[in-house]
Amino acid sequence: MVPVTRRQALARAAQAGVAIAGARAIPGDPAVQDAANPAIRPPPAYGGTHAIAPLPFDPKSLTGLSEKLLVSHHDNNYAGAVKRLNQIELEIAALPGDAAPFRMGSLKREELIARNSMVLHELYFGNLGGDGKPGGRLAGMIERQFASLAAWERDFRLTGKSLGGGSGWVVLGWDAHRGGVHHYWLFDHTHSPAGVAPLLVMDMFEHAYAMDYGANAAGYVDAFFRNLDWAELDRRAASFAAS
């Protein structure tokens, strides 16, 4: 072993101190933080560990929605939301105890936007890849609330078209307050209706269709319905079907 002088030891200690301080100053890198001090590891609530889910279908297989559109939508809009959410969580975890309230408020707002974008996109991609033929539990639940499947589809499509040229979502969900299914108009990622479990999700942000349809939002809505996977929708609705 090569002997270390007192001066060398002090220099190394100073360098280590700088490295630790630097690690603590960089939110978003839990590996560095943990190595520096395991005590500052982010709690599970702000772990920043959300994973990007792959497309649940072959993007070449859908009718009226191109592979280019679907891959871009997934890899940029959805994956971007997951990455943002992870970074935001780690930044919240790194806030000092004396942080100004506006810093937490800003981060929590961004957390809500990124979180809802992530979840709604996963549900959106998850309800595509089918043949569009309705039936099963959810169809029956819809008929009980809207008198007929055709009447509901007309309303759902019209809600979607009302968001054309702008942004938003249309969400059909189990409404615990109502005790049945209902669909809602969401202008952005902060307008989720309270007490509603999403069952069917349609993305009406322009990134979901402009590459294929330009401003023709109605054409996109048609393609969306042609590719619905009603078997997946039934799986989502199964726990509410007997209610």
DSSP for 19-69 reads HHHHHHT-TT-HHHHHHH-GGGPPPGGG---PPPPPPSS-TTS-SSS-HHH
* Conformation bin of residue 181: beta by default, left when phi > 0, alpha when psi is -120 to 50: beta
**CATH architecture classification, 137-240:** 3-Layer(bab) Sandwich (3.55)
Q: In this structure, what token pair is assigned to residue 59? A: 């993007």
Report helix, strand or coil for 196.
strand
The alpha-carbon radius of gyration of the chain (Å, integer) is 24
What pTM, to 2 d.p., does this model score? 0.82
Where along the chain do its domains lie?
137-240
Short-list 44, 22, 157, CA closest to 92: 44
What does each of the 243 residues of the chain score in pLDDT, given as a tens digit? 444 444 444 344 334 333 333 333 334 444 434 434 545 689 999 999 999 999 999 999 999 999 999 999 999 999 999 999 999 999 999 999 999 999 999 999 999 999 999 999 999 999 999 999 999 999 999 999 999 999 999 999 999 999 998 899 999 999 999 999 999 999 989 988 999 999 999 999 999 999 999 999 999 999 999 999 999 999 999 988 765
What is the DSSP secondary structure assignment for residue 182, as one 8-state letter? E
Are the CB atoms for 32 and 26 separated by under 8 Å?
A: yes
